[in-house]
Amino acid sequence: MAAASAAAIFASCSKNGQDVLVSNTSDLARVKETVEIPFADLKISDDALTPDNVVVLDFSGKQVPSQVYTEKDGEQILVFQADVAEHSCVKYSVKAGEREDYPVKAYSRHVPERMDDYAYENNLVAGRIYGPALADPRTFGSDVWLKCTERLVIDDWFKKMDYHHNYGEGMDCYKVANTLGGGAVAPYSGDKLYIGDNWATQEHLCDGPVRTKAYFTYNAFDVDGRKVSATREISLDANSRFVKSTTWFSTDAQELPVALGAIQHEVLDRVDGENWIAFTEVASDTQQPEIDGNISIGLVLSPAITPEGTGTIDGHAAIKATVKTDSPVTVWTASGWSQGGVESPKAWTSLVKDFAYAQANPLKVEILK
């Protein structure tokens, strides 16, 4: 962006509102990327701004979908999605107003009618993690559900209890068993991966046009003779194939070796980056693989965590790291389908690589005074 244009943006100020500058210093254009602002940081004196009346306007004055939700610790967060070209910046305005009725695009819920599943979805992906009522499998891992529609489907699929058949919107043709399934972070020792247990408690935090989020606790389980327990947050944003997961491991040691892993079935293509892995495989829970197509899985380790190499552990594609106990371990897991928008393994690898690059080069957000 030209210096004169940037100066004009910095000098501008919305009447009865507050301007927010979103800057992209990277070489990658950011499309529908979520911006987070602590609601308490917004200081608007002319109007009484509340989570119920806050609106976000783009540079042309058009309202964009936004959401305010409350974190587990009580902090309120404003989220909306921005489009910012590479090496550029865009101004958004936050003010009190009449919110448009934006549809929910990120949704999750506890599913007690199906053995305590916790299911999640947005307009691109869906999946579930298993709860205490399910005797088998027992795992931290996720089951991948495949969609070829932007419509939210999990409630209808659970109502039918026939989600292993494709009626035209997608299906579950992915095999988890007692593995990490489509991806999770778990302790390991030597050549053994400790896949943990199903969640013990869950708390739904939010749904909305931008984000769904939930919080889980896990009972202690054995890791090479040591007891380890965990808490975890998962969140999924609209227009993204990447589920964000932050886990806190508790044990009597100061550090813990962990691996971000996903089980491999009949792999057709795999590419390892420094802190990411992308692979594509044949649909694994199917009698008709030629009809059900290929499933793609992506793993990304937070740039805040030092990777200690990639490899294969217990049949899982894995990224290794050593983390401090009771400290956040953030990872992203992604899924795609050859019948649901993933053109090729090469395209999938590019998507995962670009996402990892974006996390290492986050958008910068400035609230203009």
User: Quick one: 125 and 265 in the same domain?
Assistant: yes
- Kindly state the percentage of the chain with pLDDT values over 90: 92
Of the candidates 180, 175, 176, 177, the one whose C-alpha atom is nearest the C-alpha of residue 285 is 175
pLDDT band at 284 (very low <50, low <70, confident <90, very high): very high
Pairing of strands 316-324, 88-96: unpaired
Domain annotation covers residue 243? yes
Residue 21: in which H helix or E strand, if any? strand 17-24
Domain count, the chain: 2
> CA of 196: how far to CAs of 22, 118, 138, 178, 342, in Å?
39, 16, 7, 10, 31
Pair 234, 248: CB distance under 8 Å: no
Domain annotation covers residue 346? yes
Write the pLDDT tens digit of every residue in 195-206: 999 999 999 999
CATH of the domain at 17: 2.60.40.1180
User: Quick one: 40 and 84 in the same domain?
Assistant: yes
Write the pLDDT tens digit of every residue in 91-102: 999 999 999 999
Q: What is the distance, to the nearest Å, from the Cα of residue 134 to the centroid of all Cα atoms in its chain?
A: 24
| Mean pLDDT, rounded, for 46-59 | 89
| Mean pLDDT, rounded, for 35-48 | 84
Domain annotation covers residue 366? no
User: Quick one: 222 and 270 in the same domain?
Assistant: yes
Domain annotation covers residue 368? no
Of the candidates 259, 272, 270, 247, the one whose C-alpha atom is nearest the C-alpha of residue 319 is 259
User: Quick one: 336 and 194 in the same domain?
Assistant: yes
User: Quick one: 118 and 88 in the same domain?
Assistant: no
pLDDT computed for residue 153 by the predictor: 98
pLDDT band at 318 (very low <50, low <70, confident <90, very high): very high
| Mean pLDDT, rounded, for 211-216 | 98
User: Quick one: 235 and 310 in the same domain?
Assistant: yes
Domain annotation covers residue 367? no
* pLDDT surpassing 50 at residue 14: no
User: Quick one: 153 and 95 in the same domain?
Assistant: no
User: Quick one: 21 and 133 in the same domain?
Assistant: no
Domain annotation covers residue 365? no
* pLDDT surpassing 50 at residue 2: no
| Mean pLDDT, rounded, for 145-174 | 97
User: Quick one: 96 and 110 in the same domain?
Assistant: no
Domain boundary among 71, 101, 131: 101
Write the pLDDT tens digit of every residue in 298-315: 999 999 999 999 999 999
Write the pLDDT tens digit of every residue in 65-92: 999 999 999 999 999 999 999 999 999 9
Output the average pLDDT for the chain.
94
* pLDDT surpassing 80 at residue 252: yes
* pLDDT surpassing 90 at residue 1: no
What's the token pair of residue 291?
Answer: 């009809």
User: Quick one: 164 and 38 in the same domain?
Assistant: no
Domain that includes residue 65, residue range? 3-101
DSSP state at residue 114: G
Domain boundary among 79, 101, 123: 101
pLDDT computed for residue 338 by the predictor: 98
User: Quick one: 79 and 178 in the same domain?
Assistant: no
What's the token pair of residue 163?
Answer: 């989600």
Domain annotation covers residue 230? yes
Domain boundary among 101, 134, 151: 101
CATH of the domain at 191: 2.70.98
pLDDT computed for residue 16 by the predictor: 64
User: Quick one: 95 and 114 in the same domain?
Assistant: no
Domain annotation covers residue 336? yes
Q: What is the CA radius of gyration of the chain?
A: 21
